[in-house]
Chain A
Amino acid sequence: MRSEFLSELKVAGLGPLWKRAPFVLRHFPAVLIAVLCSAFVLGLAASANSLFYSSESSAVLGKQLSGPDRWAGGFQVVKYGTYAGPGAGARHARWNNLLQGATRGLGGLGPLNLSVVGLDVQVQTPGSKKLAFAHLLTRSGALANVTVLKRGGPNGVWLAATNASYLHVSPGDNIHLAVEGATTSHHRTIAVRVTGIYQNLGTSSTVPEFWIPLQGDMLPPSPQGEPPPPWMIAGPHVFERIEKALGPTAKWQWNYPVRSSGLTVPEAQSLAGRLGLVQARLHDPTTELGKAFVNANYQSSLPDLLAGANAIAASTQGPIGAIAIAGILVALFVVAAAGVFGVQRRRVEIEFLSARGVTPASLGLRAALEALLPVIVGTAVGWLVARFLVSRFGPSAIIGTAASQSAIRATVICAIAAVIVLGIMAGAAARLQTDLQRRKEGTLVKRVPWEFGLLLLAGASYYEINARGSAPLVSGNGDIHVDTLTLLFPILFVAGAAGLAARLLGRILEPLRRVPGGRWPSSLYFAVKRLANAPRAGVMLVTAATVSIGILLYAGTLAASIEASSRAKAEVFIGSDVATPIAFDASHHVPHLGYPATPVTKLESVQVVPGDFITTTLLGIDPSTFASSAFWDHSFSSAPLDELVSKLGSALAGQRLPAVIVGQGFPPGGSLDYSSARIPIRVVGTARAWPGMAVGRPMIVTTNDAFTAALKKAGTPTQNAQHELWIKGDTAGILRALDKSGLAVAPVTAAKTEALPGFLALHWTLGFLEALGLLTGAIALVGIVLYLQARQRARQVAYALSRRMGLGGPQHLRAIGLELAGMLLPALLIGVTLSALATKLVYQRLDPLPAVPPPALLRWPGELIAVTAGTIVLLTIGTAWLVQRSADRGNVAELMRLAE
C-alpha cells in the first residue's frame, strides 16, 4: 500500500491536480464555505481557552487591584523623620531622587504620590475658648481632590468644613495652632491664616480613590469609634513653618498605585518580581537606598493579590479546559464532516479519478492540500474573532501577549490536526464513495449505536459526582469553581440522549415513507416525505441542533440558578440588599432614604441555658418595617414572614421574651444567659433560616422594644449590641442616599459579596459553557445551510416536477418551512427536555455555599428559552424563504432535462 502510494506520487509528480490543489476550492463555493466555517469554529475553540484564561486572570487581578487594593497592590514606603531643621530640604530631595531612581522603569506602576503627615494639632481662634482638632497634611494634588467650599488668599492652611463651622472662621481669618496635649510649660503655638475651607472627607461611605492611601488616618477604627480629626491641608512651605514651630516629627509616605489601565498577569508577575528587588535593596544597609531608608517601612501586597488571582483563575482552568477540549473535538468533528461533504459534493470527480486507479489515500492527501489555505484562513479568522469576543464580552479586555501567543500555537496545532483529519476523512469517504458494497452496507456512524457509549460515560460521570461525596462546586482555598465532571456530564448526557432521540425520530418517520397521504395537504405531504427520506445528515443535524440547544440551556439554567442562590445567600448573610452599621441606637430615628429600611439590633455570642452552652445571636427587629425591608425566602419557614413578625409584634411583654427560634438546638423552656442575667424565652414561632444569621449559629429573633426592655429588666448593659440599618432596593441608589444622609461609613452590600472574584469565576465558567452552546448552535446553523445547499439541486428538480403537478410557490414554501420546523422544533423540545433533566439531576449539588441557607435555588432561564425559540422560528422562516427564492430562480427546462 505504502509503495503503491509513493509510486503514485512519483507518477503524479506535480501534475495539474496537485499544482491547482491549493486554490481549487474556489471552484466549489459550498465546500469552501464548509471548510472555512469549520476551520473558523476550530480556530475559535482552539484559541478560546488561552485567551479566556488570560482575560479571566486579568479580570480577577483587576478586581483584586481595584479600589483600595490599587494602592495596596502598588508600592508604599513610609519613613518617619523631622521635616524641618538644618539640611532637611536636601535630605528630602535625596530620598525622593533615590526612590524615583529605584522605581524608574518598573512598568505597571502609576505616578508617585508623596504625602507628609504632620502632627495632630489643636485649633483655636484668637480670643475664643473653643477648641477644635485637626491633622496636619501636605500632599501634592490634595486640593484638586477635595470639594472646595470657600477660598481666600495664599500662604495659609485649608480647614475642613466641620472645623471651620465649629470655630466660625472664614478664609482670611487667623487661627492659632498648638500641639495637642501640650502642657503650659511647653506651650508652643503658631498663628496661621485660613486660606480656604473644604468639604470633610471622612463622613463619606466610600473614600475617594485619591485619599485611599491615607484612609487609615481618616476613618474611625470601628463604627462605634470616634472619627479621627479631619485634615488641615497646607502647602510645603506653610507645612514646614508649622512643623518648625510645633515640633518637627512627620511621616513621609510614598505611594505608587498600580497602573490604572490594568495589568495582565504576566505584567503583574514581572512587576512583583522587580518590586521584590527594590525591597531587597531597601532592606540591604550596604546599598545607598538601604542607607537612606534605614528603619523605613515598605510593602506591596501585589504578590499576595497575584497569588489570590492566580488561585481563583487556576480553579477554573480545569473546567474551562475541559469545555474547550469538548469544543475542539466538536470543531474537529465538523472539520471531518466538511471533508466528507467535500467528497460528496465532488462525487463525480472522485469516481472519475478512482476509475483511473487513483488511490483513496492520494485523494485524501489532495483534499488535505486543497483545504490547507482555507483552514489557515479560517483558523486565523477564528483566532482573531475569539480574541475580539473574549476582549469584548469576556471577563476582561486585557489579554496577555503570552496568552495570545499560546492561543496562536494552539490554533496552529489544531489547524494542522484539522488538515490531517480532513484528509483522512476525505480519503475514507472517497473509498466508501467508490466502493459500492460498503456503501450499501452503510457507514459506521449508522451501524454503531455510539449514543449508548456517550450515555454510558454520562452515567459514569453522574455516578462519580454522587459517589465522590463532595459538592461539584469545589471550594479549595476558599475559591468556588465547578467540578469538571459537572460540566462534562451534561455534554455527554445531552449528546448521547439527543443522538438516541434523533435516531428514534428517524425510525418513527421511516414508516411514513410508505404512507400514501392522500388526504394530506400537499405542503405537509412534501415535508413529511422529505423528512422521512432525509439522509443521515438530516438526523445528524437534528442531533447537533439538540446538543447545542441542550448545552446552551443547561449552562443558562445553572448560571441563573447559581446567581439566584448566591444572591440569596449573600442577602441572608447581610440581611437585605444593603446593611450599614449605625454608630448610635437609631432604632427610632431612621432617616428617610427613599428605600424600605429597617433598624435591627444584634447581640452576638449569647448563651442558651439549659444545655451544652449553645451560643446564639440575639436579633432585635422593628415589626413595622422588617417584612418590607429584609430579605426573605419561603424556604426559611413554613409560616410566612408577615405572620412571624406579626406574632412578635403582638406578643405581650411579660416575664418572658417573645421570640422566634431560628435553627436547631434551642431547648424547650430555655433562657438566654447574658452578662450574668437570665432572660427567659417564650417561643412564638420557629424558622430554619433568618436574614442576618451567621453560618452554623442559631438565632433568637425578637423585637427591638422587647429586646431593650428585657435587657433593662435584667439590669444588663447594652453597649455590646450592634445597631444596623437594613435597606432594600437598588444598591447604587441606596449608597448614594446613604452618602447624602451622612449616616454610614462602611455599608456592606449583597451585590458586592456576589461580585467577589470567587463567585465571578464561577459565573465566567458557566458563561464559557454557554459560549460552547452558542458555538455548537452556530455549527448546527452552518450545517443546516450546507445541508440545504447540498440538496438544492434535488429540491429544485422536485420543485420543478411539483409545479408541473400544480403545486404553487406558497405551498412549496410552506413545505420547506414545515420540513425545517420538523427538524428544528423537535431539536428545541428535546434540547429543553434534556437540559431540564440534566439540571434537575445536578442543581442541588451546585450550591456555592452549602452551609448558608437557603438551599440551592432552581431558576429556569425563561428569557433564554424564549430567545432560542424565537431564533429557531426566525431561522425557519428566513431559511425557507431563501430556499424558495433559489428554487424559483431555477431554470425549469434545464432541471427537467436533468431529472429525466
Chain B
Amino acid sequence: MEGVVKVYRSATGEVHALKGIDISFPSRGVTAVVGPSGSGKSSLLRILAGLDEPTAGSVHIGSVEMSALSASARREARRRLVGYVFQLPSDNLISYLNAWEHMVLAAKVRGSGLGEASRLLELLGIGDLSWARPQQLSGGEQQRLAFAQAVIGAPALVIADEPTAQLDGASSKALLQAVRELAHGGTSFVLSTHDADVVAAADRTYFLRHGALESVTAERVAMSVIDGAGRIQLPPGALELFPDGRAIVETVEGAVMIKPP
C-alpha cells in the first residue's frame, strides 16, 4: 500500500480514516495490525481486501494494482487473490450449509479441487465435523472453518478482522497454530487484533493510531515509522513529555534526540 488515504463523508463532515499509509506485507508469514478503536484498522483491511476503494494512494497484491481495477475486475481479483475472515465466526458461515458444503462452495468460487478442501479440514482439525452446520460448531471450530474456506486455492493474501475476538484462550491458540501452519504454504496472513497472543504469533506487527502508521515490530524490534513528509508518531507514553506540543529535535552522532523545550 502506498500513500493510502481514506476519507469518509458524512452529514457531520469528513472523517479521515487513513492518512497516507505506506505499508507492505511479506508474501508468506503472518502480519498483525493493531491499534485502538478508530485507528483505521478496519478501513485498512477493507481496502487491502478490495472491499473498499482508497480515496487516494495505491494498493498492490503481487503484481495486481487493486486500486486501479474496475469494480468487476476488483471483484474477480478478490475472488482469486484474497480470502477474508470476518470478526464474528457466524459472519463467515451460511447457516443452512454444513462444513463440507462451505468448503465445496469456497472451492468452486476459487476454482480449486475438492481434495484440497478435505485436506484443509483435516489440517485444521475439523475433518470429522464436515457434516455439521454452523450452529453445531463451537466458536473456535467456526473460525477454523472460516480460515479453511479463506485459504482454499492458495490465495496470495488472507485477511482476518480480529479473528480471535470471540474465542476463548484455548480456541485462540489452536487457531493461531493452524494459521501459522497455513502460512507456510505461501499465503500471506494479515490479522487485525487487540489480542497479545496474535501479536506474539505474528512475524511482523503494524501499530496504527489516528489513521497513521505509528510503528512496526519485526523480529522483536520495534521501529517508529517516518512517513514521506518526515513525520513520526511518538508512543503515547513519550507524548506525555510534551504537554505544549512542542519539541526540540537535535541530531547527535547519527541519532535524533527529541526533548521538551
Please list the residues of chain A having a beta carbon within 8 angstroms of any beta carbon in chain B.
1, 4, 11-13, 15-17, 20, 24, 27, 348-349, 351-352, 354-359, 434, 436-437, 440
Given contacts A348-B90, A357-B80, 18 further A-B contacts (CB under 8 A): A1-B72, A4-B72, A4-B76, A12-B108, A12-B109, A13-B108, A15-B108, A27-B95, A351-B86, A352-B86, A352-B91, A355-B49, A355-B84, A356-B84, A356-B106, A359-B75, A436-B46, A436-B52
Return chain A residues, CB-CB under 8 Å to B97. 16-17, 20
**A11 contacts B111, CB within 8 Å?**
yes
- Closest residue of chain B to A348 (Cβ to Cβ) is B91
- Closest residue of chain A to B111 (Cβ to Cβ) is A11
Please list the residues of chain B having a beta carbon within 8 angstroms of any beta carbon in chain A.
8-10, 46, 49, 51-53, 72, 75-80, 84, 86, 90-97, 101-102, 104-106, 108-109, 111
A17 to B49, CA, bound (A): 23
Return chain A residues, CB-CB under 8 Å to B104. 15-16
Return chain A residues, CB-CB under 8 Å to B108. 11-13, 15
**A20 contacts B96, CB within 8 Å?**
yes
Return chain A residues, CB-CB under 8 Å to B9. 440
A11 to B97, CA, bound (A): 18
- Closest residue of chain A to B78 (Cβ to Cβ) is A357
17 contacts between A and B (CB under 8 A): A11-B108, A11-B111, A15-B104, A15-B105, A15-B108, A16-B105, A17-B94, A17-B97, A24-B96, A351-B91, A352-B93, A356-B78, A356-B84, A357-B75, A357-B76, A357-B77, A440-B10
- Closest residue of chain A to B49 (Cβ to Cβ) is A355
A16 to B149, CA, bound (A): 14
- Closest residue of chain B to A7 (Cβ to Cβ) is B76
Return chain A residues, CB-CB under 8 Å to B53. 437
Return chain A residues, CB-CB under 8 Å to B10. 440
Chain B proximity of A894: nearest CB distance (Å): 13
Contacts A11-B108, A356-B106: A349 and B72 contacting too (C-beta < 8 A)? Answer: no
Return chain A residues, CB-CB under 8 Å to B79. 356-358
A24 to B8, CA, bound (A): 36
Q: Which 9 A-B pairs have the closest CB atoms?
A: A357-B79, A16-B101, A357-B78, A355-B84, A15-B108, A27-B96, A357-B75, A348-B91, A4-B72
**B78 contacts A17, CB within 8 Å?**
no
**A17 contacts B76, CB within 8 Å?**
no
Chain B proximity of A710: nearest CB distance (Å): 87
**B91 contacts A357, CB within 8 Å?**
no
Chain B proximity of A506: nearest CB distance (Å): 15
Chain B proximity of A39: nearest CB distance (Å): 21
Q: Interface centre among B78, B79, B86, B92, by most A CB within 10 Å?
A: B79
- Closest residue of chain B to A20 (Cβ to Cβ) is B96
- Closest residue of chain B to A19 (Cβ to Cβ) is B101
A352 to B86, CA, bound (A): 8
**A357 contacts B109, CB within 8 Å?**
yes
A352 to B91, CA, bound (A): 7
Chain A proximity of B69: nearest CB distance (Å): 12
Return chain B residues, CB-CB under 8 Å to A357. 75-80, 109
A12 to B79, CA, bound (A): 12
**B51 contacts A359, CB within 8 Å?**
no
- Closest residue of chain A to B109 (Cβ to Cβ) is A356
Q: Interface centre among A4, A348, A352, A355, by most B CB within 10 Å?
A: A355
A287 to B129, CA, bound (A): 88
A13 to B72, CA, bound (A): 20
Return chain B residues, CB-CB under 8 Å to A434. 51
A12 to B97, CA, bound (A): 15
Contacts A16-B101, A437-B53: A358 and B96 contacting too (C-beta < 8 A)? Answer: no
Return chain B residues, CB-CB under 8 Å to A349. 94-95
Return chain B residues, CB-CB under 8 Å to A356. 78-79, 84, 106, 109
A16 to B96, CA, bound (A): 10
Return chain B residues, CB-CB under 8 Å to A354. 51
A273 to B77, CA, bound (A): 70
Chain A proximity of B63: nearest CB distance (Å): 18
Q: Interface centre among B86, B92, B108, by most A CB within 10 Å?
A: B108
